[in-house]
Amino acid sequence: MPTSVRIVVVDDHALFVSGLELLLPEVSGGRATVVAATRDAASAAALVRNWVPDLALVDLHMPAPGGLGAIAAVRRAAPRTRIVAMSGDEDPEPALAALRAGAEGFLPKTSDPAALLQPLLAVVDGWAVLPPELLGALLAPARSARPAPADLDDAERTLLQLIAAGATTTEIALKLHVSERTVKRLTASLLRKLRVSSRTEAAALAGSTGIL
């Protein structure tokens, strides 16, 4: 886990942002700090370029260009910054759209600040974070339309298990004794076979079908 996390918040709810600024350092022992915030989604990319944070927290329900626009802009401006979308409602569709736009995770804004720390650290460390309800919504259309992991050969199942466990390309290459370029090629082929667009969706499919 990272020893410290610098966070930028993109949210037009001033009280929520103030709460994070005060409580995250307290519950994390100073490990997580909000270094900057903006209430304007259009300013998100410039703010991230200026502060170079580890993590950007983006509210999905903001005035135009909105949270999705902010996520896409941050992803283009700072590919190394991890992005977590947040929302105060239970509708899964905006959260799914955020994942497609480039977010690595989603967390409800109703979460207690103390409960936010571990998911945020996990995202910075390379994991994808999703609530169970969102995971179910993500998998619902896939269960009937996509090949089951049972249809995969042994090598493909092993690769899927490593992806679902959160292994990086480098770690998978070492485990399988192949080059990173080969891992990327095999991963792309696996995603096409499973009819998913990301490692997160592949991991979700693996978890729902018991391959883990």
Q: CATH number, domain at 181?
A: 1.10.10.10
Q: What is the pLDDT of residue 149?
A: 55
Query: Is residue 173, in this structure, part of any structural domain at all?
Result: yes
What is the pLDDT, as a whole number, of residue 167?
A: 86
Using DSSP's 3-state secondary structure scheme, residue 34 falls into strand
Q: What are the per-10-residue average pLDDT scores of the chain (212 residues)?
A: 83 92 88 94 96 96 93 93 90 86 90 80 85 70 53 88 87 93 93 85 73 58
What 92-95 contacts at long range (C-beta under 8 Å, 24+ apart), as own/partner pairs, is: 92/133, 92/134, 92/137, 92/138, 94/60, 94/61, 94/67, 94/68, 95/60, 95/134, 95/137
Residues 46 and 119 placed together within one structural domain of the fold:
yes
Q: What is the pLDDT of residue 83?
A: 95
**121 in the same domain as 47:** yes
* pLDDT at 47 (0 to 100): 97
Handedness of CA 27, 32, 37, 39 (dihedral sign): negative
Q: Are residues 120 and 63 in the same domain?
A: yes
| Domain housing 173 | 141-208
- Give me the pLDDT at residue 174, please: 93
Q: Is residue 90 part of a domain?
A: yes
Domain end call among 97, 131, 165: 131
**Boundary of a domain, candidates 79, 105, 131:** 131
**Domain co-membership, 74 together with 155:** no
Tell me, yes or no, whether 16 and 82 share the same domain: yes
Same domain? 77 vs 151: no
Residues 28 and 32: their CA atoms lie apart, in Å, by 6
Q: How far apart are CA 50 and CA 41, in angstroms?
A: 15
pLDDT score at 141: 57
Listed in order, strand segments (DSSP E) in the chain are 5-10, 32-38, 55-59, 82-87, 105-108
- Residue 8: per-residue pLDDT: 97
Can you give the pLDDT at residue 14?
A: 92
Q: How far apart are CA 51 and CA 56, in angstroms?
A: 11
Q: Is the residue at 33 inside a domain?
A: yes
| Confidence (pLDDT) at 166 | 82
**What's the number of domains the chain is made of?**
2
Q: Are residues 101 and 65 in the same domain?
A: yes
Query: Residue 112 belongs to a domain with what CATH number?
Result: 3.40.50.2300
3-class DSSP string for 45-86: HHHHHHHCCCEEEEECCCCCCHHHHHHHHHHHHCCCCEEEEE
For residue 143, what pLDDT is reported? 53
In a domain, residue 158? The reply is yes
Domain-embedded: residue 136: no
